[in-house]
Amino acid sequence: MRPLSLKVKAFTSFRDEQSIDFSDLDLFVLWGPTGSGKSSLLDAITYALYGYVERVGREAAQLVSQGQPRMAVTLDFAVGDAVYRVSRSTTATGQSKVLLERREGAEWASYGEGADSVTQVKSIICELVGLDYDAFTRSVILPQGKFAEFLTGDATKRREILTELLGLELFQRMARRSREIATTAKVQSDTKAELLESEYAGANKEAVATVKENLKTNEAMLAAAEKLEKKLDVVALEHAEARRAEKAVRTCATEAQTLAASFSSTAFELDDHARAAKEAAAAVAARTAEVATTDAAAKKAKKARELYEKKTGTLETLIALGAKADALEIARTDFSRAQSSVDKERTAAEQADKQVQTVRAALTKADAALETTVEGLDAARIAHEESQHADRVGALVMDLKAGDPCPVCDRPLKTVPGYDRKAMDKSATALEKARDAHSQKEKAFRDAETKLALAEERLQAAIAGVARCERERKEKQDLIESHLAALSKAIPRSTKDPKALIDDQIESLRELIEDESATRDDHSKAEQELARAEIVAERSRSRVAELRARLIGAGTGGLFDRATAAAPGLELPDRLGDDLPEDADALATTAGSFAKELEKLADDLTDLARSHQKTQAALMKKAQEALPDGVRVTDDLGSLVAQARNMTLQQTAEVTAARAAVENLQLRMEARKKLEAEIDTQRSQHKIYAALGNELKSDRIVQFLQAEALEALSVAASRHLLDLSSTRFRLAYEQDRFYVIDAWNGDERRNVKTLSGGE
């Protein structure tokens, strides 16, 4: 694995984003003051790869820069020719995200499934780099602090670190594993030894001889049982054949008896249909004559109706004329009513006109009276104003005499005006009376004006009512003329009562229509009766044909074939052909005769079945006599055969069990040998691994390897230290301690603890 570039942000001291390009570097130094972030860059590499930093463990959130919400690290690295990018971030609360990508040309693409899973990316990184975190920090990056601890610390602690760095705990694991293998081998050998004593104690040659003798005895008994089973199988086969023959003959007898009953029933039914056919023919003839009679009556009624309609019109036409006649009567009634309304409205108009004239005269009179009061009111107002003026002047000169200065113009008064206080009171009273008189006359004038307006409105309403009623009368008159014109096409204008005439014509036409409908119904009923009679006749003919077809296809041929196969020498009736008579009477005679022949065939077959039954009884007796002593005897041959078969099966099971016992005992002997060999192998294995575990337990190998590694480290470190210190310093390792040799001070040997920080 080779790092190519590193990008960090908000990681420890790197608050702002920083990038480092390693692609052109082979050997380099990270230089800077304390706390500048040199170690943080190495920590960033382990964090990006494994999500883990040695100094904070798994609490990566502690590395987030102070006050920042999250840190982010991106590392580009190469493995062989492939280039990868891992981007990892952690929030201040500890939530982590990761994304693993692969460079394809100039673009970056997701690594694939699990590329954004923290757990799966860790496994993928270990596989790509070839190292887990522990191995990486031992062989690639040695965490800060472990070097000084390793160099100057306690020897025992140094050996522990060395063991960790070199992976020497492998030998400890080997020791543990050796002891585990030794313990397992001993437990398994002891367990198998116990199993050998408990499970395989009886597996020997004497036991094999015993089970083989038992097998021979059972095989002899099996041969005897098989011989009995074969003998009973032959008897059972013959018995089954006799039983099959009996069943076949009885089946034919039953079928013959069933067919005989069917043919007999068919013969009776044919007799019934012969009578029914004659009755149906007579009914058809009678209904045909009735159809002809009703048809003539229907045609006659239709002609009468058509002639009347030609004279008066159709029923719809007459009904329409009747409606027009009704409308004429209504129009005439409405006209009379309209005429009355005209007369009434004219009378009301004349009365309204008279009232207008009367009210108009009253208004003229009230107007004159009002004018008079206006003149009197003006005179009273003037007189009152003059008395008020005289009173005011009198008040001013009340104590003056002639020659005194005028209170208004200050000129000497020639004379002193006189005044009368009572005159002003009289003028005020006169003015009030004049006002009251004027108000009354004015009210009378207004009332007269209102009455005149109302009277004129009533007059105009009456005039309008007269015009409206005259228009309505004219409309009714026009409507009467319209109805008369429409009726005159069918009825003379001289007809006194058109409505009565039309009603009579409608009634007459309806009677003719009802008569026609009744004759049509009679004709339809007659046709239905004829159709029913023809259906009855046809059903009878169809049923006779059906019964004839049934007789032809009754299956007697199949019965005769089966009867010939079941009883070859039996005499059979002649077979029915397809030339059966079609007449019901003749067909009934043929069916009855054939039914009797089938009954005779059924009796012959029944006698033959009894003979087969006797044969079965004889075979049963033969089977019972063949049974050995001790076997239960029954009257069921199947039970006897089953017993023999059970004996064979039982003996077969015994033989099988004996053979299995022989095979099992032989297998157990083979297993015993195998188990003994395994015990020997596991005891040897226990001995070897127990010894190896004891050797590894002493830690001599680990101590030897640690010493060799420390010596090798000392030599290699001296070479580097000489180069770095310009040949001044080199290292030595003696008695579990490191020493520094200073060439500038005469190869002085001193403890490494005396080295300064820079050194």
H/E stretch holding 263 reads: helix 205-312
For residue 216, the model assigns a pLDDT of 82
> Of 537, 518, 522, 534, which is closest to residue 292 (Cα–Cα)?
522
For residue 153, the model assigns a pLDDT of 67
Question: In the chain, what percentage of residues exceed pLDDT 90?
Answer: 13
For residue 146, the model assigns a pLDDT of 62
User: What are the structure tokens assigned to 140, written together?
Assistant: 């690639």
What Å distances lie between residue 389 and 382, 417, 685, CA to CA?
11, 11, 165
pLDDT tens digit sequence for 448-488: 888 888 888 888 888 888 888 888 878 877 776 776 666 66
> Of 208, 214, 201, 229, which is closest to residue 657 (Cα–Cα)?
214
For residue 534, the model assigns a pLDDT of 76
Q: What's the mean pLDDT in 629-652? A: 73
Dihedral of CA atoms 448, 450, 451, 452 in degrees, nearest 10, equals 90
What Å distances lie between residue 472 and 331, 337, 475, CA to CA?
11, 10, 5
Question: In the chain, what percentage of residues exceed pLDDT 70?
Answer: 91
pLDDT category, 88, cuts 50, 70, 90?
very high
For residue 145, the model assigns a pLDDT of 59
For 213-218, which contacts have Cβ atoms below 8 Å and span 24 or more sequence positions? 214/658, 214/661, 215/655, 215/658, 215/659, 215/661, 215/662, 218/651, 218/654, 218/655, 218/658
For residue 87, the model assigns a pLDDT of 97
Please give the full DSSP string across 404-471, using - where no structure is assigned.
SBPTTT-PBPSSPPP--HHHHHHHHHHHHHHHHHHHHHHHHHHHHHHHHHHHHHHHHHHHHHHHHHHH
Helices (H) and strands (E) in the chain, counts: 14, 9
pLDDT tens digit sequence for 183-231: 998 898 888 888 777 777 677 777 777 877 887 887 787 787 777 778 7
- Helix ranges restricted to H, 25-168: 38-50, 118-129, 133-139, 146-152, 155-166
* Residue for token pair 């050797």: 695
For residue 370, the model assigns a pLDDT of 78
Measured at the CA of 282, the angle between CA 278 and CA 286, to 5 degrees, comes to: 170
- Answer yes or no: pTM beyond 0.85: no
For residue 419, the model assigns a pLDDT of 63
- The region, left, alpha or beta by phi > 0 then psi within -120 to 50, assigned to residue 421 is alpha
The whole-chain average pLDDT of the chain stands at 81
What CA–CA distance (Å, rounded) separates 184 from 92? 51
Q: What's the mean pLDDT in 75-104? A: 95
Would you say 239 and 616 are in contact if contact means Cβ atoms under 8 Å apart?
A: yes
> Strand 82-91 vs strand 729-734: parallel, antiparallel, or unpaired?
unpaired
pLDDT tens digit sequence for 20-61: 999 998 888 888 887 788 888 999 999 999 998 887 887 888
pLDDT category, 9, cuts 50, 70, 90?
very high
> Of 632, 559, 553, which is closest to residue 253 (Cα–Cα)?
559
